[in-house]
């Protein structure tokens, strides 16, 4: 090795850069190139991300949030874009493959056959749009009209707050009388009479 300055090829600083967090070897020449080649597309819509950013901002408020969603007149039902079409397509493909497989499949509940919903008694018909979410209280009477053509797939997410559910059962609207059950139950967490401190029912905010 000759004496003097040491050198490396410039590619050491622009090519095959390993990003451990993503287990990815990347190339970098400038920010525009890197963004174009490696920015991962979000499966969430920009409209939904705007809602998230607003809710995380110091200026978040219920009144401001309602500007980002579409409300069903006279009902506490809200609609907004959630998933991009590409994600919906890929997700359905994965679900169809799973349904065709021999893997064990569990079903979330028996509400379709045995549910006894309470609360409001009038239906509000809401048109479903691919990738859009519908937010409503579980006590809002809800159902699905028959499919006349094609297929219908729904992704249903239950948002349960045990601190609220422990104070009032959503089925009978009374203080829950707890009995042991199999599995995880329905979100109740008390095993004995507990201090029922003040809580805020988030459902009253929407």
| pLDDT at 198 (0 to 100) | 47
Number of domains composing the chain: 3
- 63 and 20 within one domain: no
- 141 and 62 within one domain: yes
Collapse the DSSP code of 70 into the 3-class scheme (helix H, G, I; strand E, B; otherwise coil) and give the result.
strand
- 128 and 176 within one domain: no
- 50 and 84 within one domain: yes
Residues 118 and 173: beta-carbon distance below 8 Å: yes
* Residues ≥6 apart with Cβ < 8 Å to 202: 161, 164
Range of the domain at 33: 8-40
| pLDDT at 205 (0 to 100) | 46
Rounded CA gap, 206 and 131, in Å? 21
Instruction: Convert the pLDDT of each residue in 79-123 to its tens digit.
Output: 999 999 989 998 999 988 988 888 877 666 655 443 333 344 456
- 99 and 17 within one domain: no
- 169 and 108 within one domain: no
Rounded CA gap, 172 and 163, in Å? 17
CA angle 173, 138, 145 (to 5 degrees): 130
Phi, psi of 134 (to 5 degrees): -125, 120
> Is the residue at 206 inside a domain?
no
- 55 and 144 within one domain: yes
Give residue 62's pLDDT band: very low, low, confident or very high (50, 70, 90). confident
Q: How far apart are the first and last CA of the chain?
A: 73
- Whether the full predicted model's pTM is greater than 0.85, yes or no, is no
| pLDDT at 39 (0 to 100) | 66
Residues 26 and 34: beta-carbon distance below 8 Å: yes
Rounded CA gap, 21 and 196, in Å? 43
- 104 and 62 within one domain: yes
- 142 and 80 within one domain: yes
Residues 27 and 16: beta-carbon distance below 8 Å: yes
- 83 and 70 within one domain: yes
């Amino acid at each position: 090795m000759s004496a003097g300055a040491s050198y490396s090829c410039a590619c050491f600083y622009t090519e095959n850069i390993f990003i451990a967090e993503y287990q990815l070897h990347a190339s970098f020449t400038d920010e525009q190139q890197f963004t174009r080649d490696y920015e991962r597309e979000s499966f969430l819509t920009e409209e939904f991300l705007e809602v998230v950013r607003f809710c995380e901002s110091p200026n978040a408020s219920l009144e401001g949030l309602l500007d980002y969603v579409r409300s069903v007149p006279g009902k506490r039902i809200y609609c907004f874009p959630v998933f991009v079409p590409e994600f919906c397509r890929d997700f359905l493909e994965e679900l169809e493959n799973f349904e065709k497989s021999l893997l064990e499949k569990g079903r979330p509940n028996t509400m379709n056959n045995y549910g006894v919903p309470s609360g409001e008694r009038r239906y509000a018909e809401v048109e479903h749009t691919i990738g859009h979410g519908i937010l409503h209280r579980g006590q809002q009477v809800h159902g699905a009209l028959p499919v006349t053509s094609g297929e219908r797939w729904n992704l249903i997410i239950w948002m349960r707050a045990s601190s609220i559910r422990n104070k009032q059962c959503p089925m009978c609207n009374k203080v829950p009388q707890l009995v042991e059950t199999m599995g995880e139950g329905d979100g109740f967490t008390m095993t004995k009479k507990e201090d029922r401190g003040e809580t805020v029912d988030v459902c009253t905010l929407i």
